[in-house]
Chains A and B, each alone.
Chain A
Amino acid sequence: MSIDAAIRLSPEDNVAVCRRPVTKGERIAVDGIALIAEDDVALGHKLALVPLETGDKVLKYGMPIGSVTCGVRRGGWVHVHNMKSDYIPAHLRDAHGDHA
């Protein structure tokens, strides 16, 4: 089925949600925008549709879901290693992020 590998939930979003696992280096299209995945990105995880800089708001569903903590390349995986909540820190179990 020729369906986009990731979905942009709202037109103003700067991230898209993967509808299936995406592999680093894979060429994908989101809403007619072509990009190359810079990381492996799992189902349900987010990738950047534009380059993101520290302090940028991450937009999903058309609303801010947190702030960027270190630069993300276009097509890069956006998650707890490079963004954080603007409300309450997330708490994690293993070593892939900052413990709250």
Chain B
Amino acid sequence: MSWLGWQRRDGRKGIRDVILVVYLVECAHHVARRIVEGANDPRVQLIGFPGCYPNDYALGMMKALTTHPNVGGVVLVSLGCESFNREALAETLSAAGRPHDTVVIQRAGGTRAGIAAGQAAVERVRAAADAQAVRVPMGVEELVVGTICGGSDGTSGITANPAVGRAFDALVDAGATCIFEETSELIGCEGHMRSRAASAEVGAAIVASVEQAERYYRAMGYGSFAPGNAEGGLSSQEEKSAGAYAKSGARPINGVIVPAQQPPGAGLYLLDVVPPGDPKFGFPNIVDNAEIGELMACGAHVTLFTTGRGSVVGSAIAPVIKICANPETYARMHEDMDVDAGRILDGAATLDAVGAEIVSLIEAVAGGAETKSEALGHREFVLTYKATGPAGPSCLAA
């Protein structure tokens, strides 16, 4: 498996060449959106952080996302008086060799002048990115793949999720780095996960992370269980968990990482999305795209998104491959789905066959093929406040 990727100056390789326009506070959102609309180029994409108060997590996420290997250049859009440390972010971009520019709306002279300055900045940054672009062969051993599920139902855990698990096993065997996440959706699976841990220390960290997720969500009053899950046949958090857990496949779990931490090597990792301590700033991730953002901040080049009820989302920065678990949903929403895993239900395909189809599709998408959500223009992104936690233990597979 190999294709042409983009060589970044920091040594990483990407599968897209995105120019990011980043608003650093909600007050700069409109100007940033108009800058992106004016560019009229699917390569120019919008992300941002709405809050005015500083947050270490948000800064760390923005540093990781703007230097993501799929990103070729960055324009920061600041109102001017917000707390976000735009200078620190710009320094990180310089260190990573990414062309970048900053527009400060209050200095530029307001909305109209800010949009004009931003559009000029996009032109400069895009030209600089193109001037330093180097296409190089890239292989699966350089690929980071994340997985999440959204809109799960009773079919997710028997079709799409175990099919992703087969794909993860094949990818790990081929030397890729794979990340699964959402510890609150692994409640009830902690004992089995510990049995797959690469070391006793990692096993203990896995159990502790799931216990913290249960504590956290109990305090919030809600588990990670939406009404649609019940309508789709899931009756409890732990039933949803057992189905979600199947995405992780069967390979050893090499470590527990936290948002914006890069996995230290190839193999399978659990991303612990729940902050330590008592709840602070609300739910750990308010919606699926917050989780996709964290997977990308951990380096995911592409995300495998399984859905039973039928999610339509994609993402800025990194392509999302949507794997539909439910044949009834696929019949209604096939334009949004990349893979029809519901065929497994009536015996028309095996888990292994769908797993192999997913791996082939990852290769095609890594080589530039558009996913359904990319073609439909989905570029969702959300980032909110969160407390940061210490990195967990991990071990490198020998």
- Contact B236 A46, beta carbon cutoff 8 Å: no
A91 to B242, CA, bound (A): 18
A93 to B225, CA, bound (A): 11
- Contact A85 B236, beta carbon cutoff 8 Å: yes
- Contact B155 A63, beta carbon cutoff 8 Å: no
Query: Does A49 belong to the interface (CB within 8 Å)?
Result: no
A1 to B158, CA, bound (A): 19
Query: Does A20 belong to the interface (CB within 8 Å)?
Result: yes
User: Which of chain A's residues have a CB closer than 8 A to the CB of B238?
Assistant: 63-66, 85-87
User: Which of chain B's residues have a CB closer than 8 A to the CB of A61?
Assistant: 157, 242-243
Residue of B nearest to A78 (CB): B235
Query: Does B199 belong to the interface (CB within 8 Å)?
Result: no
Contact residues of B between 207 and 236, Cβ < 8 Å to A: 214, 217-218, 221-223, 225-227, 229-230, 232-233, 235-236
Q: Select one of B188, B217, B229 contacting A63, CB under 8 A.
A: B188
Tell me the minimal C-beta distance from B210 to chain A in angstroms: 10
Task: Determine chain A's interface SS by DSSP, over half rule.
Answer: loop
Asked, given contacts A1-B346, A92-B227, whether A43 binds B233 with beta carbons under 8 Å apart, the answer is: yes
- Contact A43 B328, beta carbon cutoff 8 Å: yes
- Contact B237 A87, beta carbon cutoff 8 Å: yes
Tell me the minimal C-beta distance from B306 to chain A in angstroms: 13
Tell me the minimal C-beta distance from B348 to chain A in angstroms: 9
Query: Does B147 belong to the interface (CB within 8 Å)?
Result: no
Tell me the minimal C-beta distance from A86 to chain B in angstroms: 7
Asked, given contacts A46-B233, A87-B214, whether A60 binds B346 with beta carbons under 8 Å apart, the answer is: no
- Contact A91 B225, beta carbon cutoff 8 Å: yes
Asked, given contacts A17-B154, A43-B154, A43-B326, whether A87 binds B230 with beta carbons under 8 Å apart, the answer is: no
Query: Does B17 belong to the interface (CB within 8 Å)?
Result: no
Query: Does B293 belong to the interface (CB within 8 Å)?
Result: no
Tell me the minimal C-beta distance from A49 to chain B in angstroms: 15
Contact residues of B between 236 and 257, Cβ < 8 Å to A: 236-239, 242-243
- Contact B237 A88, beta carbon cutoff 8 Å: yes
- Contact A17 B223, beta carbon cutoff 8 Å: no
A63 to B243, CA, bound (A): 11
Query: Does B291 belong to the interface (CB within 8 Å)?
Result: no
**Most chain B C-beta atoms within 10 Å of own C-beta, residue among A80, A85, A92:** A85
Contact residues of B between 253 and 302, Cβ < 8 Å to A: none
- Contact A90 B235, beta carbon cutoff 8 Å: yes
- Contact A87 B187, beta carbon cutoff 8 Å: yes
- Contact B235 A88, beta carbon cutoff 8 Å: no
Query: Does A83 belong to the interface (CB within 8 Å)?
Result: yes
Q: Select one of A7, A9, A79 contacting B235, CB under 8 A.
A: A79
A80 to B326, CA, bound (A): 20
A88 to B188, CA, bound (A): 11
A43 to B345, CA, bound (A): 10
User: Which of chain B's residues have a CB closer than 8 A to the CB of A58?
Assistant: 235, 239
Residue of A nearest to B189 (CB): A63
Query: Does B308 belong to the interface (CB within 8 Å)?
Result: yes
Tell me the minimal C-beta distance from A12 to chain B in angstroms: 13
Query: Does B11 belong to the interface (CB within 8 Å)?
Result: no
A94 to B226, CA, bound (A): 12
Asked, given contacts A63-B188, A97-B230, whether A88 binds B239 with beta carbons under 8 Å apart, the answer is: no
- A-B contacts, 6 of them at CB < 8 A, read A43-B233, A44-B326, A46-B154, A84-B235, A90-B223, A100-B221
What 7 A-B pairs are tightest by C-beta distance, nearest first? A44-B154, A88-B223, A93-B227, A85-B236, A45-B233, A65-B239, A44-B233
